[in-house]
Amino acid sequence: MSTATPHSLSKPEELRKQANEILKGVDQLIKAGSLAQAQSEISRAKSIDPNNAYIYAFEERISFLRAEDQRKQGDAAARAQKEDEAKARLEAERKRLEEERKAREEESKRKLEADRLKKAQAQAPAPAAKPAGLTDRQKAELEAKRKFEEDFKKAESDRQKAAKPVVSNDANDPANIYKKVLLLAWADGALTKEEQSQLSAMRATLNISDEIHQRLEADVKLESYAQAFKIAWTSGLNAKDRGSVVAELRRKFSIASTEHAKVESKVLAELGPDHHQQSIVIVDDEDAMRMLIAQVLEESGFVVQAFATSDEAIVALKDLKPDMILSDINLDTSTMGGFSFYEKVRLYQHLAMVPFMFLSGLKDEGMIRYGKGLGADDYLTKPFSNDLLVDTIRGKIKRYRQMRPQAVATS
């Protein structure tokens, strides 16, 4: 007579449970950046349950992260090389300009000495004859005319100086060269003491006045901060993280509130009103898969809200209008399965046209046809690649936006 209890697990179920426990640890290792250890644990899980689809999803995630690390290291090395090359070119240019300056000074000294000798040898000119017979009135008129001409010349000279731009289009203009050096120095934030010392030496070489330096530096600081701000704004960060990054950039570039407001207004005007982060709602009762999908989408620039049950999601969706909804079909911990959840979502008027896609480990063609027959926009079978997931989502959202004006026109 068998002694097994009704609740005992079969051998395959026990192996699947062991493998899933290992995968939970793998997820934590990936978040901690321990990719080599995570790969070792994946191999251990695979030896226990080689048919577990989630193992292959995690393997693909690890491969993607390793490739990203290699790419970032390559980018950093290339950027460092470019910076070294730029510094070498600037140093060579500085030396060339210094040599030219010394040569000009020597030539000027020779000319001055020659002129001095020539004047010393020449006889003193006869004094100019004073105008005779001028009345006091005529003398006053001549003095007034002379003073007017001097004042006019001075005002004209000041006007031309004010109208002249600090930097010309001439690549050899010292101010132009100095601005390029400033841009390089300000690329990573406010100047260090070493950079200030180097720039001071270059100003002496290029004969850059303090006034021109201050005007150029003010422009370069805002230009460099605007570039960094634009990168932060378009990097796909969520609102909280983006705010932290912008605050750190303001500190690095020593940007005041008024300066930040000016830069922010200009950059957002350039990006246009349609530039915003697209939002995705995910419903999946498998913790590891839900967190993996959320991480992939967040790193691809989406704002993600993930739910373990359809019950939690349907309550939240009363006040949300995401760009797309992803839902697993088998939601064992929910009162509504994936198909019932879909039909409930479509009852909300503001969600009636939002793209909806099913995710499932099932491969039953009948289930796929049934889901599409309900009106779902697409269906992905687990495991799927990160690129396929992201490209499918972007394609569906793009198609929805193209069709939305037509729907509004015919409604």
The pLDDT of residue 320 is above 70: yes
Total domains present in the chain: 3
CA angle in degrees (0–180, nearest 5) for 254-255-258: 150
CATH label of the domain that carries residue 356: 3.40.50.2300
Are both 259 and 185 inside the same structural domain? yes
Tokens of 406: 């037509």
Residue 9 lies in a domain: no
The pLDDT of residue 347 is above 50: yes
Containing structural domain, residue 384:
279-410
Which residue, 44, 71, 98, sits at the end of a domain? 71
The pLDDT of residue 125 is above 70: no
Residue 360 lies in a domain: yes
Are both 296 and 392 inside the same structural domain? yes
| Per-residue model confidence as pLDDT tens digits over 260-313 | 657 766 776 676 555 556 789 999 988 888 999 888 888 887 878 899 999 999
The pLDDT of residue 247 is above 90: no
Are both 309 and 390 inside the same structural domain? yes
Which residue, 251, 276, 301, sits at the end of a domain? 276
Establish whether the linkage from the previous residue to 6 is cis, with ω within 30° of 0: no
Residue 392 lies in a domain: yes
Are both 355 and 269 inside the same structural domain? no
Are both 402 and 295 inside the same structural domain? yes
Q: Which of 332, 342, 363 is nearest to 281 (CA)?
A: 342
The whole-number average pLDDT for the span 150-157 is 68
Cα separation, 306 vs 188, in Å, equals 36
Q: How high does pLDDT run on average in the chain?
A: 78
Output 70 or 363, whichever has higher pLDDT: 70
| pTM for the structure as a whole | 0.37
Residue 32 lies in a domain: yes
Pairing of strands 279-283, 303-307: parallel
Query: In the prediction, which pLDDT does 238 show?
Result: 60
Are both 344 and 405 inside the same structural domain? yes
Residue 295 CB neighbour total at 10 angstroms:
18
Residue 107 lies in a domain: no
Cα separation, 245 vs 381, in Å, equals 37
